[in-house]
Amino acid sequence: MRRLLSVFTLLATALPAAAAAGPLYQEVQTNRAITISMFLAVVLVTGCVVYRAAKTTKTTADYYAAGGAISGFQNGWAIAGDYLSAATFLGIAGITSLFGADGFMYTVGPFFSFVTILLVIAEPCRNVGRFTLGDILSLRSSSKLVRGTAALSAVVVSTFYLLGQMVGAGKLMQLLLGIPYRASVIGVGALMVVYVTFGGMKATTWVQIIKAALLMLSGIALTLLLLERFDFDLLRFYDAVATSPAVQDHVRTLMKDAAPGSGVDYGQRFLESGLLLKDPVDQISLGLAFALGAAGLPHIMMRFFTVPDARSARTSVVISMVLIGAFMIMVTMIGFGAALFITPQQIMAVDKGGNMAAPMLAQYLGGGAGSVTGDLLLAFVCAVAFSTILAVVSGLILAVSAAVAHDLYVNVLRDGISDQKEQMRIARLSALGIGAVGIVLGLACEKQNIAHLVVLAFAVVASSNFPVLLFALFWKRFNAGGIVTGLTVGAVFAIGVVMVSPNMTYPKKVAADAKKVVELLEKKQTAGVPLSEKEVKSLEKARSDWARNKDGRSLVGLDAPLFPLKNPAILSVPVGFLAAIAGTFLFGHRREEEKFDELYIRQNTGHGAAEAADH
Amino acid sequence: MDGNRIDWAALARMPKFVELHTKRRAFLLTLWCFGSLCFYLLPICAGYFPEIMRTRLLGRLNVGYFLCLLEFGVIWGIALYYTRKSNAVFDPLTREVVEEIRREVAR
């Protein structure tokens, strides 16, 4: 989801500054005292939860799976808390506020992913799994290579996702509170390591539940306050959006129409899709990544091991679907509301990616900057965004920790022979290590375009973990050869395609764009029109960009992308499936087919789930 | 219980179990395909039939908007239908199968 923010930032930077009535402010006026106390309240409450959880976290089953004692209802809230990242909340509100109906279109993909989770993943995983994907695959093959590969794939995918979250967290805290990037990354990372190390899955679950509750509360509050202004008449609300002169002006700029006229109803255009999402094939490819990718994300899968049985796993997905769907619909309304009341121009003046749309609308609906209720509501929404980062990051750290400690150390290095005390020590140490790695990578990537990383996470999962998991659960002939080939080929191929896709930076393209700006401004200069201060600055910047990039090549040495789409799924998913099938036939093993009967009975009935948890 | 001593292949041939998993698999596959079809309809319509999508239905709201809303409805509908079917058909059947497995294993 993080890619929403970043992809969008890219697009938005390309937009010319729109003309708007009145001076635009560059920063949101927050009441620091209120905002900081709200943040401290979030830290305090979650801290108490962690403290309580830490006292009852004694075994690895407690640490990785909360002892299987989370109810379906609680887990549903926790899944919503795990899945709805800050990018969903702030990013989708932002996209909608700047591109209208495309924001709504965008929400359907992440929401649809839950159909796959519900139908294919949740119950079978609960029935056969214990802590990780490696546990499930090991039921098909006792080969260490299988478990090692599964663990490695979980580490890679979660690290991409984690890095996206860390960089996003740093930038958001800067935007929301004015805390420097480095301090935010270190602070968030360190706090999460403490939470996960001491509280394990119990703490993570409760942090996610609290966050989901806060998020729903803020979504409902903002939507009600917004619609109340129109006496809850949706038609009047959308009519107001479409007739807003600022919105019309903004759409005209987006469509690059020089002057009004030509009979286009720009306000109505805002309610039609296509301002942002232009290439249907790329959209279908993205849809495929969402539909299959989310179902194999290690930190989401892990949530199903925390409930006692398949029935509660099912309940939890349905609860989370109700919450996530309702939230998505509310968030798009908040986005439209922000476009109407804050204006797209003002939202972009504060942040080009539109991420501040929801917080700014909160302040406005509360009574505006300087009013107590306005500042309170703004601070509340900012604190919710903060708790969102905490919940997602802690879930990710736990997922990597399980793959490293449980799969790699205990089962691969020590042959599964390790006492509880040692296992717990390793689990906690690994969480500490992953947190440290996350912080270091986050600091290193401050200036990087991390958009391709989260595209990568979803695409890699959809083309490696998902085919392998599906075959392991449902295909009798599948075996170790298929698992290892599917996981590696699928992942490597998806990564490879992203490396040659338009997600990477192509210096020659940057240089060409810069050259256009230079030519345009120089032409203006030679025509005798004096340049404004802003234009002089952008001319200087464009000149240096051009000089720096004109002879450059992309990371893999290309001048232009080889693969035309941003999302590789449409190509890499079939390749992943084929690789898994080919591996099965090339490196076959009869013994493993026999093991299928056991796994197949277990995944369908849940028979032996309790025994599996004891071995 | 020692997993190695159980004849899983024999258990997998139990008529009750075969009934459960064939029924279940067919049901899941149909529902999943239906859901996917509905889902991909959205980008396809938006990309290739923009004229239909921008037809106004109610006030300022157009076909595209209602199609998005409909997607949410369909996804919730799938969840509801699946839950009902599972509770009414598959859960009782699963319990019977588990009972039978217990008896077989105990013998």
> How does pLDDT run across A501-538, given as a tens digit for each residue?
887 778 888 888 888 888 888 888 888 777 777 778 88
CB contact under 8 A, B75 and A235: no
Of all residues in chain A, the one with the smallest CA distance to B67 is A105
- CB atoms near residue A251 (< 10 Å): 27
Question: CA A349 to CA A331: how far, in whole Å?
Answer: 21
Mind telling me how many Å the CA of A496 is from chain B's nearest CA?
26
Q: Which amino acid, one-letter code, is at B1?
A: M
Residue A547 falls inside a structural domain = no
Nearest CA to A79 among A297, A268, A336? A297
Mind telling me how many Å the CA of B17 is from chain A's nearest CA?
8
A211-221 mean pLDDT:
93
Contact indicator for B42, A105 with CB cutoff of 8 Å = yes
CB contact under 8 A, A273 and B6: no
Question: CA A57 to CA A427: how far, in whole Å?
Answer: 12
Task: Name every residue whose Cβ is closer than 8 Å to that of residue B73 and which is 6 or more positions away in sequence.
Answer: none
Lowest-confidence region among A175-189, A254-268, A308-322, A390-404:
A254-268
Contact indicator for A134, A147 with CB cutoff of 8 Å = yes
Report residue B22 as tokens. 């064939």
Of all residues in chain B, the one with the smallest CA distance to A123 is B86
B43 contact residues in A (CB cutoff 8 A): 105, 277, 280, 283-284, 287
| CA angle (A232, A85, A497) in 5-degree steps | 120
Q: Which of A235, A291, A314 sits opposite B60 (nearest CB)?
A: A235
CB contact under 8 A, A112 and B58: no
Contact indicator for A87, A281 with CB cutoff of 8 Å = no
Asked if A264 has any chain B CB less than 8 Å from its own CB, the reply is no
Residue A504 falls inside a structural domain = no
Contact indicator for A479, A148 with CB cutoff of 8 Å = no
B86 contact residues in A (CB cutoff 8 A): 314
pLDDT digits (tens, 9 = 90+) for A264-304: 788 888 888 888 877 888 888 888 898 898 888 888 888 99
CB contact under 8 A, A605 and B98: yes
**Which DSSP category does B63 fall into?**
H
CB contact under 8 A, A235 and B64: no
Per-residue confidence (pLDDT) for residue A589, from 0 to 100: 66
Bridge partners, B62 (sequence order): B56
CB contact under 8 A, B44 and A284: yes
Asked if A600 has any chain B CB less than 8 Å from its own CB, the reply is yes
| Count: domains in chain A | 1
Bridge partners, B56 (sequence order): B62
**Average pLDDT value for chain A:** 84
Residue B55: domain span: 3-106
How is A7-62 classified by DSSP, letter by letter?
A: HHHHHHHTSPPPP-SSPPPSS----HHHHHHHHHHHHHHHHHHHHHHHHT--SHHH
Residue A546 falls inside a structural domain = no
**To 10 degrees, what angle do helices A2-13 and A92-99 make?**
30
Write phi, then psi, for A529 (nearest 5 degrees): -85, 120
A604 contact residues in B (CB cutoff 8 A): 17, 20-21, 24, 94, 97
Lowest-confidence region among A324-338, A470-484, A487-501, A593-607:
A593-607
B71 contact residues in A (CB cutoff 8 A): 108, 111-112
| Count: domains in chain B | 1
Q: Which of B39, B65, B83 sits opposite A271 (nearest CB)?
A: B65
CB contact under 8 A, B75 and A314: no
Question: CA A297 to CA A320: how far, in whole Å?
Answer: 16
pLDDT digits (tens, 9 = 90+) for A319-351: 999 999 999 999 999 999 999 999 999 988 888
A408-423 mean pLDDT:
82
pLDDT digits (tens, 9 = 90+) for B30-65: 999 999 999 999 888 888 888 888 888 888 888 989
CB contact under 8 A, A605 and B17: yes
Q: Long-range contacts: A34-41, Cβ < 8 Å, 24+? A: A34/A375, A34/A376, A34/A379, A35/A176, A35/A177, A35/A375, A35/A378, A35/A379, A35/A382, A35/A383, A36/A177, A37/A379, A38/A379, A38/A380, A38/A382, A38/A383, A39/A177, A39/A382, A39/A383, A39/A386, A41/A383
Contact indicator for A545, A510 with CB cutoff of 8 Å = yes
Nearest CA to A42 among A165, A217, A302, A159? A217
Which of B5, B39, B51, B101 is most worth mutating to test chain A (most A CB atoms within 10 A of its CB)?
Answer: B39
A239 contact residues in B (CB cutoff 8 A): 59-60
Contact indicator for B72, A322 with CB cutoff of 8 Å = no
pLDDT band at residue A19 under the 50/70/90 scheme: very low
Q: Which of A318, A601, A608 sits opposite B12 (nearest CB)?
A: A601
pLDDT digits (tens, 9 = 90+) for A143-166: 888 889 999 999 988 888 888 888
Lowest-confidence region among A359-363, A461-465, A544-548:
A544-548
B40 contact residues in A (CB cutoff 8 A): 284, 287
Q: Which of A317, A329, A611 sits opposite B72 (nearest CB)?
A: A329
Task: Name every residue whose Cβ is closer than 8 Å to that of residue A134 and which is 6 or more positions away in sequence.
Answer: A146, A147, A150, A151, A154, A403, A406, A407, A411
Report residue A434 as tokens. 């992953």
Residue A303 falls inside a structural domain = yes
Mind telling me how many Å the CA of A43 is from chain B's nearest CA?
34
Report residue A371 as tokens. 């009013």
Asked if A265 has any chain B CB less than 8 Å from its own CB, the reply is no
Mind telling me how many Å the CA of A128 is from chain B's nearest CA?
13
Rg of chain B on CA atoms, in Å: 22
- Global pTM value: 0.87
**To 10 degrees, what angle do helices A181-228 and A420-444 make?**
90
CA distances from A590 to A141, A306, A580, B18 (A): 11, 33, 17, 22
CB contact under 8 A, B61 and A601: no
| CA angle (A518, A521, A525) in 5-degree steps | 130
Per-residue confidence (pLDDT) for residue A222, from 0 to 100: 94
Question: CA B13 to CA A414: how far, in whole Å?
Answer: 37
Which of B51, B62, B68 is most worth mutating to test chain A (most A CB atoms within 10 A of its CB)?
Answer: B68
B80 contact residues in A (CB cutoff 8 A): 318
Residue A474 falls inside a structural domain = no
Question: CA A580 to CA A471: how far, in whole Å?
Answer: 8
Report residue A339 as tokens. 């476009």
pLDDT digits (tens, 9 = 90+) for A171-192: 888 877 778 889 989 988 998 8
A315 contact residues in B (CB cutoff 8 A): 83
Q: Which of A234, A280, A328 sits opposite B44 (nearest CB)?
A: A280
Q: Which amino acid, one-letter code, is at A374?
A: G
Residue A553 falls inside a structural domain = no
Rg of chain A on CA atoms, in Å: 25
Residue A408: domain span: 2-18+40-448
Q: Which of B58, B69, B94 sits opposite A605 (nearest CB)?
A: B94
Bridge partners, A326 (sequence order): none
Question: CA A507 to CA A164: how far, in whole Å?
Answer: 23
pLDDT digits (tens, 9 = 90+) for A68-111: 888 989 999 999 998 888 878 888 898 899 998 888 888 898 89
How is A133-160 classified by DSSP, letter by letter?
A: HHHHHHHH---HHHHHHHHHHHHHHHHH
Task: Name every residue whose Cβ is closer than 8 Å to that of residue B45 and which is 6 or more positions away in sequence.
Answer: B52, B53, B64, B67
Q: Which of A119, A284, A291 sits opposite B82 (nearest CB)?
A: A119
Report residue A405 as tokens. 């400690």
Task: Name every residue whose Cβ is closer than 8 Å to that of residue A460 and which is 6 or more positions away in sequence.
Answer: A153, A156, A157, A160, A293, A490, A491, A494, A495
Interface of A with B in 269-288 (CB under 8 A): 271-274, 277, 279-281, 283-284, 287
CB contact under 8 A, B12 and A279: no
Question: A11 or A538, which is more confident?
Answer: A538
- The interface predicted TM-score (ipTM) is 0.90
Mind telling me how many Å the CA of A505 is from chain B's nearest CA?
26
Residue A595 falls inside a structural domain = no
Residue A478 falls inside a structural domain = no
Interface of A with B in 93-132 (CB under 8 A): 101, 104-105, 107-109, 111-112, 114-116, 118-120
Of all residues in chain A, the one with the smallest CA distance to B48 is A280
A217-233 mean pLDDT:
93
Task: Name every residue whose Cβ is closer than 8 Å to that of residue A602 and which is 6 or more positions away in sequence.
Answer: A127, A128, A139, A608, A609, A612
Task: Name every residue whose Cβ is closer than 8 Å to that of residue A471 and which is 6 or more positions away in sequence.
Answer: A478, A482, A486, A580, A581, A584
The CATH number for A261's domain is: 1.20.1730.10
Report residue A369 as tokens. 């900057």
Mind telling me how many Å the CA of B89 is from chain A's nearest CA?
13
B58 contact residues in A (CB cutoff 8 A): 235
Report residue A290 as tokens. 């969402």
Question: CA B87 to CA A29: how far, in whole Å?
Answer: 52
Strand ranges for A241-309 from DSSP E? none
Report residue A149 as tokens. 């590969």
